[in-house]
Amino acid sequence: MRGEDDKPTLSPHVRPATKANEAMHPVVMSEAAFTSKLLRDAAYYADDTILILNMDVREGIDLLAKADVEVNCVVTSPPFYGQRDYEVDRQIGLEAHPSEFISTLADVFDAIGASILAANGSLWVNIGDTYWSGKGEHKSGESKQSARRFGVRPQDKKGDGKWCVPKQLLLIPHRLAIELQDRGWLVRNDNVWVKPNPIPDQVRDRCSMSHEYVFHFVKERWYYFDKNSVGRSSDNGTVLPPLDTWELPPVRGPARRHRARFSEELVRIPILTTTPPRGVVLDPFAGSGTSLIFARKHGFRAIGIDAKQSYCETMVDQLNQVSEEEIDGADD
């Protein structure tokens, strides 16, 4: 064994390989692993930079792990508790009790953390909250989207008398964050998405809700984070990190695409700060494919999983549009 005194002396021009330095130079997955036969055979859609899996999220994670996939940034908006019936097998979001929803989602993120997220990668989760209603089935001819299907909403049933009592804000976002923290994840931010001019709540005894969260989790103390592309300039010219409050209008537009889609602006900071060049972004509840579209536009590779076939179809259409725009742009 070499003694302390025999340590090689580094030239003054060589920076020591600290954990912090190493995290800032992540190795990204090879092209061969991304385009492996195992993945192509199972994919709903695959090209050299995009992979779409139309299956239950847990099956998708197992498959990616089997193919030795390693992703750098996971950004997603899982189904919110009690909000929508996506009418797919094993769907997440309509569990009878919120604690069941939290543990199911935490299991999904844990499986991703254990098998496919790089050690220096990041997980970003956009999630909103839900009130327990306990009112029974709605009879009012509620004008909200039919996908909400009030007969199946867990929060309309009689509650447990504890968390689940009428008018209770369930604190789902922070319960999920605390569960993940208890399981060993590091919580770096509870970024708040502030929605100017939201659709008003029909309530008279509380404030109208106008925010959601975008939690940033990491697995280890040292991880890849590049603030330069999204930072703010200070008076002395240095780059400050972005703030943790993001004021962005909600997406409106044809419901045909996806009723609960998020805006490309919402994934801008997550993807640009925590995906290294040519890195891989994963959205395990990809819906209409917003994260994949943003990733493609910025030169990253991306993987989307969604259980609903019509959303996978939408994703492919949207991605083809981006490719066509790129070709048109190249002709200019």
Ligand X SMILES: C[S@@+](CC[C@H](N)C(=O)[O-])C[C@H]1O[C@@H](n2cnc3c(N)ncnc32)[C@H](O)[C@@H]1O
Chain residues binding ligand X by CB under 6 A are 56-57, 77-79, 86, 88, 90-92, 258, 260-262, 285, 287-288, 290, 305-308, 311
**Where is 223: in which H helix or E strand?**
none
Nearer to ligand X, 193 or 285 (CB): 285
Beta-sheet strands, E only, within the chain: 45-46, 50-53, 71-76, 117-127, 186-194, 211-218, 232-233, 239-240, 245-247, 280-283, 301-305
Amino acid (one-letter) located at 222: W
Decide: residue 294, CB within 10 A, 0-12 exposed, 13-18 middle, 19+ buried.
buried
Nearer to ligand X, 57 or 67 (CB): 57
Shortest separation between residue 136's beta carbon and ligand X, angstroms:
25
Q: Is the Cβ–Cβ distance between 305 and 53 less than 8 Å?
A: yes
Q: What dihedral angle (degrees, nearest 10) is formed by the CA atoms of 197, 199, 201, 204?
A: 50
Shortest separation between residue 38's beta carbon and ligand X, angstroms:
19
Shortest separation between residue 1's beta carbon and ligand X, angstroms:
51
Q: Is the Cβ–Cβ distance between 39 and 49 less than 8 Å?
A: no
Q: How does strand 232-233 pair with strand 239-240? A: antiparallel
Nearer to ligand X, 117 or 127 (CB): 127
Nearer to ligand X, 77 or 133 (CB): 77
Q: How does strand 280-283 pair with strand 301-305? A: parallel
Shortest separation between residue 210's beta carbon and ligand X, angstroms:
18
Closest residue by beta carbon to ligand X: 287
Nearer to ligand X, 28 or 172 (CB): 172
Shortest separation between residue 199's beta carbon and ligand X, angstroms:
17
Shortest separation between residue 198's beta carbon and ligand X, angstroms:
17
Nearer to ligand X, 120 or 294 (CB): 294
Which of 266, 273, 274 shows the shortest CA–CA distance to 293? Answer: 266
Q: What is the C-alpha separation between 83 and 149, in angstroms, rounded?
A: 9
